[in-house]
């Protein structure tokens, strides 16, 4: 068994999303209260170009109603419940999506916590890359030392890095030679990958100037597997249970 001292650090994927509606202040705050020092969340733009923390471009899954985030003004979206009733019942019926600014305001009070801010490609397709990056850069700039900007869209990350000096993390969709060549050319500080989509039988992750974070990790055995591949971080929605398993493992050591 891997020593508890070398287990990967936990990134809360959309906050403590196993217990709270994802990408909400409640979910993110819960992860921090559980002792996690790394939180990840997604950002889209509203019709009036306000960066908001939400994963999907529509409201069907989290809001249980029709509607497109990009077509709504922030004032209206801020009063739209996103309690994930189908998954969590009616416990969070009065839970609403936060703006990026609101989450970063909360981050300012959480000492030592780093935010991984994922820019969604759906917003860039709707509004154009430049408009999205300028709006997000404006909001992130005051908290730049506490944030890492991440995305599947590598050109956007490079632009954001040049615009602001932000640390960047590339979320890769393919683990192949072309992807490695692009990564080596840009040299992001972080590389993110879905553990389940890595090549079968892989023995080690690509070395480079980056730290690896593997996501969709739910248990300590999988976290240990990620560590053996060379991942410094694992991303999970099951924050409480994985933290508890980590603590139990440390007590054994």
Phi, psi of 248 (to 5 degrees): -65, -40
Q: Is 50 exceeded by the pLDDT of residue 253? A: yes
Average pLDDT, the chain: 96
Q: Using DSSP, state whether 176 is helix, strand or coil.
A: coil
pLDDT band at 212 (very low <50, low <70, confident <90, very high): very high
**3, pLDDT greater than 70:** no
Given a contact cutoff of 8 angstroms between Cβ atoms, the answer to whether 179 and 172 are in contact is yes
Whole-number Å distance between alpha carbons of 31 and 11:
9
Whole-structure pTM value:
0.96
- What domains are there in the chain, each with its CATH number? 8-57+99-252 (3.20.20.190)
pLDDT attached to residue 4:
43
**pLDDT value at residue 5:** 55
Which residues have C-beta within 8 Å of that of residue 44, sequence separation ≥ 6? Answer: 51, 52, 54, 55, 57, 69, 70, 120, 122, 123
Q: How many beta carbons lie within 10 A of that of residue 232, not counting itself?
A: 16
- The answer to whether residues 14 and 55 touch, using CB atoms and an 8 Å cutoff, is yes
> Two tokens at 184?
């080596």
Return the structure tokens found at 52. 């908001």
- The percent of residues in the chain predicted with pLDDT above 90, rounded, is 96
Tell me, what's the pLDDT at 170?
A: 98
The rounded distance, in Å, linking the Cα atoms of 56 and 232 is 28
**What tens digit of pLDDT does each residue of 55-114 get?**
999 999 999 999 999 999 999 999 999 999 999 999 999 999 999 999 999 999 999 999
């Amino acid at each position: 068994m891997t020593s508890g001292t070398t287990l990967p650090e936990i990134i809360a994927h959309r906050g403590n999303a196993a217990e709270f509606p994802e990408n909400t202040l409640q979910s993110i705050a819960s992860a921090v209260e559980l002792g996690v020092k790394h939180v990840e969340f997604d950002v889209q733009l509203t019709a009036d170009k306000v960066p908001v923390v939400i994963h999907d471009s529509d409201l069907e899954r989290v809001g249980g109603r029709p509607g497109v985030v990009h077509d709504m003004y922030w004032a209206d979206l801020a009063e739209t419940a996103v309690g994930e009733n189908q998954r969590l019942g009616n416990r969070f019926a009065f839970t609403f999506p936060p703006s990026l600014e609101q989450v970063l305001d909360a981050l300012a009070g959480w000492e030592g916590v780093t935010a991984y801010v994922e820019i969604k490609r759906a917003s860039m397709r709707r509004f154009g890359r430049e408009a999205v990056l300028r709006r997000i850069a404006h909001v992130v700039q005051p908290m730049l030392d506490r944030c890492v900007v991440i995305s599947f869209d590598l050109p956007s990350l490079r632009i954001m890095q040049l615009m602001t000096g932000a640390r960047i993390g590339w979320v890769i969709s393919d683990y192949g030679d072309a992807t490695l060549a692009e990564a080596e050319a840009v040299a992001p500080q972080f590389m993110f990958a879905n553990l389940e989509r890595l090549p079968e039988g892989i023995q080690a992750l690509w070395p480079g100037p980056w730290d690896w974070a593997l996501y969709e990790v739910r248990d300590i055995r999988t976290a240990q597997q990620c560590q053996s591949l060379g991942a410094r971080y694992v991303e999970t929605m099951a924050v409480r249970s994985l933290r508890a398993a980590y603590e139990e493992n440390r007590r054994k050591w």
